[in-house]
Structures are given as structure tokens and as C-alpha cells.
Structure 1
């Protein structure tokens, strides 16, 4: 793995460089960078500052643990299987994003618009999704244990096979959402908060 750890790459424009596979960028400052359509497969971007970065169409199937993606443009990005545990995605643009099989435990996704997103098989344990828009989102076989979905809009979301142990759903909109009867029964028995659900 190539190590670029000591470089400050803030606001750089990578131009024609589109292949950064297997690169170690841990702790680098890439804020505001134009990283559209760059391939970061198998790279390590732990704790990287990507605030306001243009990552449209980028391939980010890599380690992004603790990365700050506040205000980043991730439209059309491929994050399938990415490790985003503890990452911050406040005000990020995530339309047409692919997160299937990603690890998002402990990530901050407050008020994020993930409508129509593919989150199948994603690990969302302990994730903050307060007020998130998850309309028509595929959350099948997703682990939502201990996640905070209070006030989330999950209208028509697919929750089939989702793990809901200790999930906070107070004030969430589950109108026309698909959920297994056994999961719903478990939630009620465990006292998972459904206050104000409509």
C-alpha cells in the first residue's frame, strides 16, 4: 500500500489521476478536493477530512472509519462494503448512492436524505439516523440494533429481515413500510419505542 500520510492534500484537484487504489491516506486533509470518479478501492482513508469534497461517482469501497464527509458530494458514489464506522455524513449529498453491505456502526447520518437508497445487508448498529429520510429505502437484512431512528421518515421502506433490537423508532413514519410480524412482535415485547409512529 502506497503511503501518502504526510501530505496535506487540501483543496487539490487531482485532474487526470483517477486511480488511487491501495493508497494509504489516513489522516490526510482532502477537504474541498475534486475527487470525482476516483477509484479508491482497497485504500485506507481512516480519519480523513473530506468535508465539502466532490466525490461524485467515486468508487469508495475502502476503509473510511472516522472520516469526516460533512457536506461532501457523494452522488452516484459506490460505497458497497465500505467501512464507514464512526464517519460523519452531515449535510452530505447522497442521491443514488450504493451502500449495500457497508459498515456504518456509530456513524452520524442525522437528517440525511437516503430515500431510494440501497442499504441491503448494511451494518447500522448504534448509528444516529435521527430525522433521516429513508422513504422507499431498501433496509432488508440490515442490522439496526441500538440505532436511533427517532423522527425518521421510513414510508414504504423495506425492513424485511432487519434486526431491530434496541432500536429507537419514536416519532418515525413507518406508513406502508414492509416489516416482518415477528420483528414487530419482538419490538413490542422489548419495549422499543414506537411513540408517535404513524
Structure 2
């Protein structure tokens, strides 16, 4: 299973050598202080100085940001001062690209480690995240219509109000996940594990849920009309 940093290296491998590392610099509304003062960090010709950057999802979370829009920064190793395993303060670095983080997910999503990521409200229609690790990921209100989530680990994830219409969740792990008020119409949930999963108020109209044990999940207000429940 690869990390989002490894996906980044695949995308921008022509910029990598022994002297440099690549980092993310997230740009979204959650990082207002940075956005308002960006000019003080941007020197000239795409050079930034004295700024905190991230190499991981956890680092982006610590910056209270998301992966929706990312600057990709190339940094000489001698200019890196590590804060922890995820964040570094850089003396200077060069912007090599502006990347929509979701485009990385579409390209490298299978087998990707996205645990703890903030993907709330993300537009991910038709994405393939097969065998990915989405443990404890925030997907509240996300659009995952027709998404391929086969054999995906969604343990402890927040999918409240998410659109999972016609998604493939075959053999997925959904233990302790929050699917309250999610739309699971026509969704394939066959053989998925749902221990302590909350489906309260979820829509499962015409979904495929055979081989699923609902006895240890929370299903108050769930609409199972015309759902295929063989073996459940």
C-alpha cells in the first residue's frame, strides 16, 4: 500500500534527485492565515522561504487543511528542519506545480493509504479506491456515486450524508463507520463487514446486501424496501 507522498513522487519523479525532497503545501480556506500572507513567503520565480510544509496526510491535518489544492515544493535536504515525522520548516524551496489533490486520488487511488484524511464534501464520483485504506477518514457529505470501494478499509470512517449511489462496497470493511443518512441506493454491499456501523436514516433502496450481518449494527429508520437481503 502506497502513501500519498509516494503517489506524488510517481507523478513528479522527473524533479527528484538525491539532493532534493518533495513536499505538499496545502492551499485552501482552512489555512486562511497562509493565504492572506502568501506574498511574504513567495520571493520570486516560484521560490518560497521560511514556511511549514507537509509530507503526509497527517501533516496536512495538523495544518488544518485538506488535499483539495496543493502546491508541490522541491526542497534541498540541507534546507529542511523537521518538526516531526510529518511536518518540516523549510528555509527555501521551489514551487514546481499546483496540483488538485483529488486528481492524484483518481490516478493512484487503488491501494492508497488515505487513513485520517479530511475528504469531507469531496466530489469523487466514479473514483476507484479499491483495496485503499480509508480508516478513520472524514468523507462526510462526499459524492462517491459509482465509486469502486471493493475490499476497501473504511473502519471508523465518517460517511454521514455521503452519496454512495451505485457504489461497489463488495467485501469492504465498515466496522464502526458512520453511514447515517447516507444514500446507498443500488449499492453493492455484499459480504461487507458492518459491526457497530450506524445506518440510522440511511437509504438502501434496491441495494445488494446479501451475506451482510445487520444484527450488530445500528439500523433505526433504515429503508430496506426492495433491497436484496439474501443470506443476511
TM-score, with length taken from structure 2 = 0.60
Partners of 1:126 and 1:110 lie apart in 2 by 12
Task: Answer yes or no: is 1:19 the counterpart of 2:26.
Answer: yes
Consecutive unaligned residues in structure 2, runs of 5 or more: 1-9, 30-53, 61-65, 71-85, 88-98
Which residue does 1:48 correspond to in 2? none
8 Å Cα contact 1:98/1:118 also seen in 2:
yes
Q: Distance in 2 between matches of 1:182 and 1:120?
A: 14
Q: Quick one: structure 1 residues 127 and 64, their matched pair in 2 at CA, closer, same or farther if it must change by over 3 Å?
A: farther
User: What are the Cα deviations for residues 70-115 of structure 1, in whole angstroms up to 9, with x where unaligned?
Assistant: 1212121110000111111112122221111100000000011111
Higher fraction of helix: 2
Q: Provide the alpha-carbon RMSD of the alignment.
A: 3.1
Q: Which has the higher strand share?
A: 2
Contact 1:64/1:82 (8 A) holds in 2: no
When residues 64 and 181 of structure 1 are mapped into structure 2, their CA distance, relative to the original with a 3 A threshold, is same
Aligned residues, how many?
A: 160
Match of 1:155 among 188, 195, 207: 195
Change (3 A) 1:168 1:193: same
Instruction: Note the C-alpha offset of 1:63.
Output: 5.2
What is the correspondence of 1:19-168 to structure 2 with a 5 Å cutoff? 19-21=26-28, 36=56, 37=59, 39-41=66-68, 64=103, 67-68=106-107, 69-168=109-208
TM-score, structure 1 normalization: 0.69
CA contact (8 A) 2:123 2:143 kept: yes
Q: Is the 1:148–1:169 Cα contact (8 Å) retained in structure 2?
A: yes
- 1:132 and 1:65 map into 2 onto residues whose CA distance is 22
Task: Decide which structure has the larger Cα Rg and report it.
Answer: 2
Q: Structure 1: any 5+ residue segments left out of the alignment?
A: 1-7, 23-33, 44-55
Contact map agreement 2:148 2:168 (CA 8 A) in 1: yes
